[in-house]
Amino acid sequence: MIDKLVASPAAALADVPDGATVLIGGFGNAGMPAALIDALIAQGARDLTIVNNNAGNADSGLAALIAAKRVRRILCSFPRQTDSWHFDRAWRAGQLELELVPQGTLAERIRAGGAGIGAFYTPTAFGTRLAEGKETRRIGSRDYVLEYPIRGDYALIRADRADRWGNLTYRKTARNFAPIMAQAARCTVAQVRETVALGEIDPEHVVTPGIFVQRVVRMDA
């Protein structure tokens, strides 16, 4: 029987090695898989490459992971927040490498990673400093920048409902990066509000098919 339900966040992340690339869903706190990030902090893996839209808020979640000096490199579009002090300090101290990526390019690189695309041309950022050193090409009457896919060893995402096959639904804007990150990682771990019996999620309503999800952890909130 296929059963992707794992007993705890700790059990779901026990095998994350040092140096892993971890895609973390969420836009601000919406869709942020807080319990999984806490488990990653407790687990101890270091030299991580993190992909998230932001670089942590206040003192918990991704900010706590950065504060614990476990992140070597971060790819994100918007690190600067009024409460991003852990990122700010680490970046200014040179302890953390930042690759700043326009939000849509970040999303498309992740999508490409999950879809088996080798690279793609995008008009975003052409002529700006975020395209410096990158291959460009004129196609028709527009200029484009070559961008490469992002793939993760792990994706940590939050969803609303799951069944034991790993089919997922989301809630409102908490969806954000989760469906594409689930596709782009070798091992996707979904923190969900509830698990339901197989067949209870209408196939028409499945947003992320279970093929993209390896582990499901139910949060009793």
Partner 1 sequence: MRKLDRKQIAARVARDIPEGAVVNLGIGLPTLVAGQIPPGREVVIHSENGVLGLGPRPAPGSEDEDLIDAGKNPATVLPGASYFHHADSFAMIRGGHIDICVLGAFQVSVAGDIANWHTGEADAIPAVGGAMDLAAGAKQVFVTMEHLTKQGESKIVQRCTYPLTGLRCVTRIYTDLAVIDVRPEGLQLVEIVAEGLAFEELQRLTGVPLRLRAAA
Q: Which residue ranges make up the site for partner 1 (CB under 8 A)?
A: 27-31, 53, 77-80, 84, 87-88, 91-92, 98, 100-108, 110-111, 122-130, 170-180, 207
- Provide the minimum distance between the beta carbon of 16 and partner 1 in the complex, in angstroms, as a whole number: 24
What's the closest the beta carbon of residue 205 comes to partner 1, in angstroms? Answer: 12
End-to-end Cα distance, the chain: 27
Nearer to partner 1, 9 or 102 (CB): 102
Instruction: List, in sequence order, every beta strand (DSSP E) within 117-176.
Output: 120-122, 136-139, 142-147, 152-162, 168-169
Comparing CB distances to partner 1, the nearer of 18 and 194 is: 194
Helix (H, G, I), strand (E, B) or coil at 172: helix
From CA 6, how far away is CA 16, in angstroms rounded?
15
Q: What angle do CA 105, 111, 117 make, to 5 degrees?
A: 100
User: Measured from the CB atom, is 20 or 101 closer to partner 1?
Assistant: 101
CB of 30 to partner 1, least distance (A): 5
Write down the least CB distance from residue 216 to partner 1, Å. Answer: 19
Nearer to partner 1, 9 or 114 (CB): 114
Q: How far apart are CA 71 and CA 209, in angstroms?
A: 30
User: How far does CA 38 lie from the centroid of its chain?
Assistant: 15
| Closer CB to partner 1, 8 or 173, in the complex | 173
CB of 207 to partner 1, least distance (A): 8
